[in-house]
């Protein structure tokens, strides 16, 4: 009997388990990045991508058959594809590809504020299906970014299923559908998984969770044929060395991680890098 294939899920919002069961012949490994950085600006985005690529490099070195980046922003996906010897998929690209196949216009509703609009502009411009987006709707004001990663943050509140936050997201979905003339809502963050079923029930319209669609794409990639490795694959590992240096590991420091909160998230939490 052959060994099962392995899918590495870069666990951007600290899920405790995959959102779908493993199909036959596949084992899913949640891989928590050791370097997390909230991508509040395009400058911070660079460190977020480094943390994602570093986690993927470790998974590839451990023998995974595919990498799935569980974030709408697809951090580091293009860079990894230029060097990784295994398929790499991301939640944002996957859910927009799903929308492209359906041919339906849609709205995006995200729990984050408008300062995060650069992420959505990038994905909608770069991915097939993005042209079908009618609007992107932002639930929170900017003060939410000072609460994320804390017990009072919207991510923690969604995890607890608090009625007021579920109601606010439901209203935002209904308002978006009415304003845009759509009946299909894509959630704009994989951290919204805990409320997707209840919001869909209350709203009475189709709500699509990018984490579910992305993981299905990851399953297909891991179980499918391996692509021909890119020429650059021989250089894979350079980011690991950079992150080692950043975290002080190469110098023998005890600081082997950036101290991310267990509720942290590459998109969803502000986490500090090492002190100088």
pLDDT at 234: 63
Question: Are 96 and 205 in the same domain?
Answer: yes
> Does any domain span residue 252?
no
How many domains does the chain contain in total? 2
Residues 95-145: tens digit of each pLDDT: 999 999 999 999 999 999 999 999 999 999 999 999 999 999 999 999 998
**Cα–Cα separations (whole angstroms), residue 195 to 16, 71, 159:** 15, 16, 8
With 0-12 / 13-18 / 19 or more C-beta atoms within 10 angstroms meaning exposed / middle / buried, residue 93 is buried
C-alpha span between 147 and 250 (Å, rounded): 33
C-alpha span between 83 and 94 (Å, rounded): 20
pLDDT at 242: 86
Question: Are 129 and 201 in the same domain?
Answer: yes
Q: Which residues contact 79 (CB under 8 A, 6 or more apart)?
A: 49, 53
pLDDT-derived band of residue 241, with 50, 70 and 90 as boundaries?
A: confident
pLDDT at 236: 82
Question: Are 204 and 98 in the same domain?
Answer: yes
Mean per-residue pLDDT, 65-78: 97
**Residue 11: which domain range?**
5-91+215-247
Percent of the chain predicted with pLDDT > 70: 88
Is the CA virtual torsion 67, 271, 39, 174 positive or negative? positive
Q: What is the CATH number of the domain that holds 126?
A: 3.40.50.12500
Full DSSP string of 239-253:
HHHHHHHHHTTTTT-
pLDDT at 256: 46
> Does any domain span residue 270?
no
pTM comes to 0.88
Question: Are 233 and 202 in the same domain?
Answer: no
Tell whether the model's pLDDT for residue 250 goes beyond 90: no
Pairs from 100-105 (Cβ < 8 Å, separation ≥ 24): 100/128, 100/129, 100/132, 101/129, 102/184, 103/132, 104/132, 104/182, 104/183, 104/184, 105/132, 105/133, 105/134, 105/180, 105/181, 105/182, 105/184
Question: Are 102 and 205 in the same domain?
Answer: yes
Comparison of pLDDT for 260 and 127, the residue scoring more: 127
Question: Are 30 and 121 in the same domain?
Answer: no
> Does any domain span residue 196?
yes
Task: List, edge to edge, every strand of the sheet that includes 88-90.
Answer: 26-31, 5-10, 66-69, 88-90
Question: Are 100 and 81 in the same domain?
Answer: no
How far, rounded to the nearest angstrom, does the alpha carbon of residue 33 sit from its chain's CA centroid? 12
- Select from 154, 186, 209 the last residue of a domain: 209
Residue 113 contacts residue 141 (beta carbons within 8 Å):
yes
In the DSSP assignment, the letter for residue 276 is: -
Tokens representing 255 are: 């600081």
| C-alpha angle 137-261-65 in degrees, rounded to nearest 5 | 80
Residues 14-51: tens digit of each pLDDT: 899 999 999 999 999 999 999 988 888 899 899 999 99
Comparison of pLDDT for 256 and 47, the residue scoring more: 47
Question: Are 80 and 121 in the same domain?
Answer: no
Residues 217-226: tens digit of each pLDDT: 999 999 998 8
Question: Are 239 and 151 in the same domain?
Answer: no
Question: Are 160 and 198 in the same domain?
Answer: yes
């Amino acid at each position: 009997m052959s060994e099962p294939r392995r899918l590495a899920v870069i666990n951007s919002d600290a899920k405790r388990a995959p959102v779908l069961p493993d199909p036959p012949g596949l084992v899913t490994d949640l891989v928590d990045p050791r370097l997390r950085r909230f991508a509040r600006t395009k400058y911070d985005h660079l460190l977020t991508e480094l943390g994602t690529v570093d986690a993927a490099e470790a998974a590839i070195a451990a023998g995974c058959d595919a990498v799935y980046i569980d974030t709408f922003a697809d951090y580091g996906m293009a860079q990894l594809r230029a060097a990784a010897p295994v398929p790499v998929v991301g939640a944002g690209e996957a859910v927009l590809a799903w929308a492209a196949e359906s041919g339906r216009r849609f709205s995006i509703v995200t729990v984050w504020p408008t300062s995060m609009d650069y992420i959505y502009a990038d994905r909608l411009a770069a991915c097939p299906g993005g042209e079908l987006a009618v609007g992107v709707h932002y639930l929170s004001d900017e003060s939410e970014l000072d609460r994320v990663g804390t017990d009072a943050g919207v991510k923690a509140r969604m995890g607890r299923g608090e009625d007021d936050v579920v109601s606010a997201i439901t209203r935002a979905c209904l308002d978006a559908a009415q304003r845009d003339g759509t009946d299909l809502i894509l959630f704009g963050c994989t951290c919204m998984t805990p409320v997707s079923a209840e919001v869909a029930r209350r709203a009475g319209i189709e709500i699509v969770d990018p984490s579910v669609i992305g993981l299905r794409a990851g399953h297909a990639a891991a179980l499918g044929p391996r692509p021909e490795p890119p020429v650059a694959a021989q250089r894979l590992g350079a980011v690991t060395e950079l992150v080692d240096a950043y975290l002080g590991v190469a110098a023998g420091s005890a600081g082997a991680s950036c101290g991310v909160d267990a509720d942290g998230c590459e998109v969803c939490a502000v986490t500090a890098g090492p002190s100088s």
